[in-house]
Amino acid sequence: MPKLSKGIKKNKGTRKTVTAQPSEIKIKINGRWHNFVPERDITPNMTLSYLLREKLGYTGLKVSCDEGACGACTVIMDGKAILSCMMLAVEANGHEITTIEGLKKDDPVVEAFAQQCEPGYGTALQCGICTPGFVMSTRALLNDNPIPTMAEVKEALSGHICRCGCYAAIAQAVTHASEKIAKKGE
């Protein structure tokens, strides 16, 4: 197994986030800074999704494909939706991560996904395993673009797979979430 320093040297210059060998790795997760000791807590090849799920117990994000093809592991980093299975934990050093556990209880996106049931579309979730990923991408989209067009919604969410096939209802839920946000004046 390569040592952390070796991995960092390799990345030097290409990854802005890992410019020097850190003596500790600091990641802000759901509003709270966590300090990690390299090697002990975070190995060089550890993915962010592994750290969040297996080490810290944030199981809202799911690891399904583990290769960036399904979107189930989506979390928000510095306001943008990212695939946590495609990012090394060390790359999150100094950054702010929000997992679905970090959303408020009455988050309008969560509410809109949960309430979706109008005739003609079905519910926005069935088995529910892809849902947290969709919710986080929607949250990031609406943060940036509070009133997206349907084409923008489809573009933003087309990196996610829902095998139960709730896409039409998910798109409706995004629209409803957008309306809720406008109403709340967030």
Partner 1 sequence: MKQPYKPRSDRKFVGGYRPRIDAWEKASGKVEYVDDITLLSRFPGMLYAKVMRSPHAHARIRKIDVSKAQQLPGVVAVMTYKDPEFASLRATNAGWTDGVDTVTYDRMMWRQFRDRRVLGDYACWVTDEVGAVVAAESEEIADQAIRLIDVEWEVLPFVLDPIEAMKPGAPLVHPEITQNNVLPKEKVGGDDVFLNKGDVDAGFAEAEVVVDGTSTHHNATQASLDNWCCLVNWTDEKLTLYSNSYEADQSRMHISQMLDLPLHKVNVISSYVGGQFGRGDTGEQPFFLFTAVLSKKTGRPVKFRHTRRESFHDSRQPAIYYGKVGAKKDGTITSLYFKSIGNTGAYADHSIFALKFAPMEIAEASFAHIPNVKLESYGVYTNKLPACMMRGVGNSQFNLIFGHVIDLLAEKLDMDPLDLCIKNFGHEWETLPDKSLVEVLKQGSEKIGWREKRHKPGQGQVYGKVKKRGVGFSIHPAWHAEWQETRRGHIPVSITLNPDGTVILDAPTVETGTGSNTCNVLGCAEALSFLGVTPERIHWNHVVNTETSMKDCVQTDSSVSYLQSEVLAVAAKEVRKEILKRAEPLLNAKSGELDIIDGRIFVRNNPDQGLSVKELLFQGDLVPIVVTTSRVPNAEKTGVPYFANFAEVEVDTDTGKVDVLHLVVINDCGTVMFASGAEAQQVGGQVTGMGEALTEEIIYDEATGVPLNFNWIDYKIPTMADMPDVDPILLEIWKGAGEYGACGIGEGTLTCTPRAIMNAIYNAIGVRINDIPIKPEKVLRALGKV
Nearer to partner 1, 93 or 138 (CB): 138
Of the candidate residues 62, 139, 176, 180, the single one contacting partner 1 (CB under 8 A)? 62
- Fill in the amino acid letter for 128: G
110 binds partner 1 (CB under 8 A): yes
Sheet architecture: strand order including 80-83? 32-36, 25-29, 96-98, 74-77, 80-83
Q: Identify the residue among 135, 140, 141, 181 touching partner 1 (CB under 8 A).
A: 135
Other Cβ atoms less than 10 A from the Cβ of 178: the count is 21
Q: Any contact of residue 2 with partner 1 (CB under 8 A)?
A: no
Site string for partner 1, 156-175 (x = CB under 8 A): -xxxxxxxxxxxxxxx----
Paired with 76 in beta bridges are 81, 98
- For partner 1 (CB under 8 A), the number of binding residues is 62
The H or E element that residue 76 is part of is: strand 74-77
Q: How far is the CB of 76 from partner 1 (least distance, A)?
A: 13
Instruction: Determine the distance from the C-alpha atom of residue 156 to the mean position of all C-alpha atoms in its chain, rounded to a whole number.
Output: 13
Q: Which is nearer to partner 1, 18 or 169 (CB)?
A: 169
Rounded to 10 degrees, the C-alpha dihedral 10/16/17/21 comes to 50
Please give the residue ranges that form the binding site for partner 1 (CB under 8 A).
Answer: 53-54, 57, 59-67, 69-70, 72, 99-101, 103, 105, 107, 110-111, 113-132, 135, 153-155, 157-171
